[in-house]
Structure 1
Amino acid sequence: MAQRRLAGEDRRPAAGGGDVTWSAPGRVNLIGEHVDYAEGLCLPFALAERTVVEASVRADGRFVARSDAERGTTDLPLADVGPGSPAGWAGYAAGVLWALRAAGHPVGGMDLTVTATVPLGAGLSSSAALECAVAVAADDLFGLGLDRASLARACVRAENEVVGAATGGMDQSASLLCTAGHALLLDTRDGSTRQVPFAPADDGLAVLVIDTRVRHHLADGRYGARRASVEKAADVLGLPSLRDAALDDLGSLDAELVPRARHIVTEIARVGEVVALLDDGRLRDIGPLLDASHASLVHDYEVSCAELDLAVDVARAAGALGARMTGGGFGGSAIALVPIDRVDAVTDAVRAAFARGGLTVPDVRVAEPSAGAHRDA
């Protein structure tokens, strides 16, 4: 990938000469939605689709970035990076450098060119893929020697404080820590992880990702409102988080908080059930739990949309063993667990249903559990 140069740039290549690339994957959350900010359990796996950053050190203390998906170049001093600056997509990348510097690490200027195959706004964590690719690049280029958990924390801080999106840490942990052929059991209370065997093809199955092409923006307030309601419910119950709540506890909450809290409590329980089934080699049996998760996200958490519901309903009717929306919601993608011999039938049925409804025909792809962020060359 040829890097475009700006007139007057003061740039130093990475050690060893030449430009070097790092990449990080998007992710699909198999189950455990909207619980990462409630100290819950999540079960994501990394996608084959990746965001690639070509990176080099700059000697002038500036952050310069360009993307094949965006027009123009972002160019500003690192000293000007902070909450709200820079705006737009570059805030996710520059914010990582800001967070690392704020944690006391010796991070200087950087030149980035970004190429992405993770669909933007599709609920597959394109933002975390960008952050994590920048994080591993910075770790290498500046010789920080940080572990992946520390890099994930910097990425979360970038998204929370620079971009202003009230996300939890599940996306970043998945992008940095996942391994091929596994899902990542992440306990967001203590940060502990476990690789859970997850190779659908070995069981004659496939996970379809159905990108509805309805684009969402997590910083638009609705995601933050859900998080605020969860934190308020925990506070009312006198608990550090809803991880400690039981269904019987929720009766003391105001009526508007009950369904939000109920989703958190039941979703965390569903993650545990899915992991137990996977550990027993019973992947085919997780379908009803995927269905229950979607119902909870529709009715209790209210983060689905008509297009996601259509994708889920049609996939099930065409032979999926279970299906649910994935990601932050309000658009984005759904997933369906499908026997391999029904992949074409499910794909065709979903696309036909969208066409009949006058909707943009979704992109449907098979998701392969893949490796996390790394240096490419």
Structure 2
Amino acid sequence: MVAPGGGAGGGPSRWPAAEELDTVRKKVVEISGRDEQEVMVAACPYRICPLGAHIDHQGGVVTAMTINYGVLLGFVPSNGSEQPLFFFQVLLHSGQFEGAIRFRVDDLQKPIDKPENINWGSYAKGAVSALQNSGYDLRKGIIGYISGVKGLDSSGLSSSAAVGIAYLLALEHVNDLVISPVDNIQLDKYIENKYLGLENGILDPSAILLSRYGYLTFMDCKTASPSYVCFSELNKSQQPQGQLPFKILLAFSGLQHNLPKKRGYNTRVSECKEAARALLHASGCEDTPNILCNVDPVVYETQKCVLEENLSRRAEHYFFEMKRVTKGRDAWAHGNLQELGQLISESGRSSILNYECGSKEMIQLYEILLKAPGALGARFSGAGFRGCCLAIVESDRAEDAAAYVRAEYEKAQPELVSRIPADRRVLVCEPGDSARVILPDPHLSS
């Protein structure tokens, strides 16, 4: 069973696996002393963005799908008639960080004032703050254990959004709050924008909350409205059990830093807004909000000469990425993986040349992926300053591609590769489903 609005799974490689759920449930039993039959699990997958790079914050249309890896938050409500004072308590342990986080849901959570003050418990407090400021009454806290995939945090897979959504779903569930996925997108945006001070758009939470296996999710970030396109080959008989004819390769660079080091990201957002301001001013629309989705493409073509060189590159990335998204929709709908892959690679190149993101190591990894056997297209996953690159590869050549990338990147960056666990250097993934709350298994022994 799942929470209202959650996905139900359905791909051939369902996530999470039974053993993963069992591990998380047992940890919650250890922490809380409660019965395993009481433990619920918020399962929030990581996401990739094949097309629509860096345009969500400008109200663009983006594409997304989840993968069969993610964050698991096992939890029970922190209530009990014998301990009424603990109704409001949040007590959390982590599989990645030492110590415990403890606070009350009836305490006012003030926004983080400095990036260096953010810690692993900040997302839980941000979830409480988002719900509080949206007028929801929280009468119960949670006792929980959260676990992601070691090495996949800070990797450009929206792990931070997955964590925030996990806390939202858990708090909503124990407080009997029925909140739609679209509203939860805005609540997660509050966590990132208002509580943590990051200028993220809605791509990440939209992908995590709205994706469906076998479909490419298209999100209009101006209207916050999703649409879905089914892969045309999905239901054909030669695809056994609904298996898609491609795999997702994730190659990790070994470069990591915390997301709160946000100057590069926020600078690019500001430059996009400045480009929009200049174009709108030149077209006599000074009072229109300064984001690029408010600039008509015809206006861009006729007025782009007014832009300074760096602003011109940002605008060019936005408008051509929008065209790539439209073409990508058609390619996906017709099962044309070759064209889709070419568009993904063009997006990656524009991210480097026009959006000017990506460290030299990430660019090197991107170039290696393009040469991998069976690779159809590649780009950064995330901003490209650290983390990983993704590639869409032919299913029957995925393992060969992974072996090639491991070997070539290790030759190029042996020191960085040594920092990555051997089983996390290159992952072969499949598309996933949406975030959901998994209720206790009635067959669990007491």
Shared fold per TM-score greater than 0.5: yes
Correspondence for 1:19: 39
Once the two structures are TM-superposed, the CA of residue 17 in structure 1 deviates from its matched residue by 7.0
RMSD: 2.4
Once the two structures are TM-superposed, the CA of residue 164 in structure 1 deviates from its matched residue by 1.9
Correspondence for 1:345: 400
Give the SS at the match of 1:194.
Answer: strand
Once the two structures are TM-superposed, the CA of residue 60 in structure 1 deviates from its matched residue by 4.7
Q: 1:359 to 1:291 in 2, by over 3 A?
A: farther
Separation of aligned partners in 1, 2:403 and 2:167: 37
CA contact (8 A) 2:265 2:383 kept: yes
- The AA in structure 2 aligned to 1:147 is S
Once the two structures are TM-superposed, the CA of residue 311 in structure 1 deviates from its matched residue by 2.1
Separation of aligned partners in 2, 1:300 and 1:294: 10
* Match for residue 293 of structure 2 among 219, 235, 243: 243
Give the SS at the match of 2:28.
Answer: coil
Listed one character per residue, the Cα deviations across residues 200-249 of structure 1 (whole Å, up to 9, x for unaligned) are 87564322111223114332121111111112222222253212433413
CA contact (8 A) 1:179 1:370 kept: yes
Correspondence for 1:310: 364
CA contact (8 A) 2:27 2:145 kept: no
* Match for residue 111 of structure 1 among 143, 152, 161: 143
The alignment's TM-score, normalised by the length of structure 2, stands at 0.78
- Larger Rg over CA atoms: 2
The alignment's TM-score, normalised by the length of structure 1, stands at 0.91
- The AA in structure 2 aligned to 1:334 is C
Correspondence for 1:133: 166
The number of aligned residues is 372
Q: 1:65 to 1:179 in 2, by over 3 A?
A: same
CA contact (8 A) 1:12 1:56 kept: no
Q: 1:75 to 1:309 in 2, by over 3 A?
A: same
- The AA in structure 1 aligned to 2:346 is A
* Residue 326 (str. 1) matches residue 387 (str. 2): no
- The AA in structure 2 aligned to 1:356 is K
Once the two structures are TM-superposed, the CA of residue 81 in structure 1 deviates from its matched residue by 2.0
Give the SS at the match of 2:119.
Answer: coil
Separation of aligned partners in 1, 2:34 and 2:182: 27
Correspondence for 1:71: 98
Once the two structures are TM-superposed, the CA of residue 346 in structure 1 deviates from its matched residue by 2.0
Once the two structures are TM-superposed, the CA of residue 24 in structure 1 deviates from its matched residue by 0.7
* Match for residue 43 of structure 1 among 38, 47, 63: 63
Listed one character per residue, the Cα deviations across residues 9-28 of structure 1 (whole Å, up to 9, x for unaligned) are xx8989x9723221111101
Separation of aligned partners in 1, 2:183 and 2:340: 32
Q: Where does structure 2 lack aligned partners over 5 or more consecutive residues?
A: 1-25, 79-85, 281-287, 440-446
Identity %: 24
Separation of aligned partners in 2, 1:218 and 1:237: 31
Correspondence for 1:84: 112
CA contact (8 A) 2:123 2:167 kept: no
* Match for residue 202 of structure 2 among 159, 169, 177: 169
CA contact (8 A) 1:166 1:219 kept: no
Correspondence for 2:176: 143
Correspondence for 2:255: 214
Correspondence for 1:3: 28
* Residue 370 (str. 1) matches residue 432 (str. 2): yes
Separation of aligned partners in 2, 1:180 and 1:134: 23
Separation of aligned partners in 2, 1:17 and 1:347: 40
CA contact (8 A) 2:248 2:431 kept: no
CA contact (8 A) 1:354 1:360 kept: no
Give the SS at the match of 2:77.
Answer: strand
Q: Where does structure 1 lack aligned partners over 5 or more consecutive residues?
A: none
Q: 1:4 to 1:163 in 2, by over 3 A?
A: farther
Instruction: Select between 164-173 and 243-252 the one with higher mean Cα deviation.
Output: 243-252
Instruction: Select between 303-312 and 44-53 the one with higher mean Cα deviation.
Output: 303-312
* Match for residue 232 of structure 1 among 266, 274, 283: 274
Instruction: Select between 119-128 and 332-341 the one with higher mean Cα deviation.
Output: 332-341
* Residue 360 (str. 1) matches residue 387 (str. 2): no
CA contact (8 A) 2:66 2:431 kept: yes
Give the SS at the match of 1:50.
Answer: strand
* Match for residue 184 of structure 1 among 217, 222, 232: 217
Separation of aligned partners in 1, 2:197 and 2:29: 30
Q: 1:107 to 1:182 in 2, by over 3 A?
A: same
Once the two structures are TM-superposed, the CA of residue 80 in structure 1 deviates from its matched residue by 4.7
Listed one character per residue, the Cα deviations across residues 300-323 of structure 1 (whole Å, up to 9, x for unaligned) are 112212222222212222332221
